[in-house]
Amino acid sequence: MALPSPDHRPGRNPFGTPPQTPSPDHRPGRNPSGTPPQTPSPDQQPDRPRPAVPSPAGWFSRHRRPATARSVLAGEAAAEAARKTSQEARTEDEAADETPDEPEFPVVGDVAAAAFFDLDNTVMQGAALFHFGRGLYKRHFFHKRDLARFAWQQIYFRLAGSENPEHMADVRNSALSIVQGHRVSELMSMGEEIYDEYMAERVWPGTRALAQAHLDAGQKVWLVTAAPVETATIIARRLGLTGALGTVAESVGGVYTGKLVGEPLHGPAKAEAVRALAAAEGLELSRCAAYSDSANDIPMLSLVGHPYAINPDSRLRKHAGEQGWRLRDYRTGRKAARIGIPAAAGLGALAGGAAAAAALQRRRR
């Protein structure tokens, strides 16, 4: 049996040095830095099982329905519609890029040229006469039953886009009955206020820019409308235009008689008014431009050398396409070059009718 060497006496280590007495900082349960040991978090503890968390997809898997023939059809139809729409948009953009640049127009300094603008839905959203009627009603100029009848007549006319003689006569008589016995100066004064209240914010910026281009070129610009000439004159002056051609109501001693001088300035009558003004002003119609939204104004548009369809109705859009007339559509915020963008005619009149109906309902309460 081997005896332990002196270096292996109890209390000594194999290297012959006395054992080290642990310091207070090396007591069991403390680390060398003297700070208590950190307890591992549940996520850091080794070999600790974690609870199973169901996948979000699993929550719905039990309720997932198999695709039916109708759902498959709906999906395929949606994909095909998206593909077709994308292709059409690319085709339109390519066609616009391929359209040759238009010659400079209007021609600066061409004093033998002028521009003629329709008013309703061309320069202004909706019917100017109806906006004027709303302002008169607000000033207790007539009764609510007159406004309701007048609003309906305007809406019907804009939506129908036709010149039914009986309906036109009814519209004319309604307007004349409203102003009969009132002074011309009275309506002119009200018209200035009504323009600021109801009309100024409804002017199409795009159309106004077209008119300004003619003015900047040194040309005269006229409004041509079936609205009363007094109303049209106010609008023309506020827009900085040359003047206005409009329906003339008879007055004696500055008071309206309730009759018209001739017929409303509508359809073929507009063309005759433009022809007469051009002769008086020494203009060459082949160098003039005309702008309108309605097929009713085709006679006026056909009279000039530079016709434009602005926010066109369906009939005018079709006719303009056949004739190669230029188109501009400001209802969608984009220019349509030789392309008509469908839109319901009479939106402005409908909006005015809805607002008037709401005003009447508030008054009843």
- Strand 306-310 and strand 289-292: the pairing is parallel
Instruction: List, for residues 3-49, the tens digit of each pLDDT value.
Output: 555 454 554 444 445 555 555 444 554 555 555 555 555 455 555 55
Ordered by where they begin, the domains of the chain are 114-364 (3.40.50.1000)
Instruction: Tell me the catalytic residues.
Output: 118, 120
In angstroms, rounded to a whole number, what is the distance separating the alpha carbons of residues 249 and 257?
8
Q: What's phi and psi for 223, nearest 5 deg?
A: -85, 145
281-340: pLDDT as tens digits: 999 999 999 999 999 999 999 999 999 999 999 999 999 999 999 999 998 644 433 333
Strands 249-252 and 255-260: antiparallel
What is the model's pLDDT at position 118?
Answer: 96
Give the integer Cα–Cα distance in Å for 219 and 222: 10
Predicted TM-score (pTM) of this structure: 0.61
Higher pLDDT, 80 or 174: 80
pLDDT per residue as tens digits for the range 232-280 = 999 999 999 999 999 998 899 999 988 888 888 889 999 999 999 999 9
C-alpha–C-alpha distance, residues 239 and 223, integer Å: 10
Can you spell out the DSSP letters for 78-144? HHHHHHHHHHHHHHHHHHHHHSPPPPP-SPTT-TT-EEEE--BTTTBSS-HHHHHHHHHHHTTSS-H
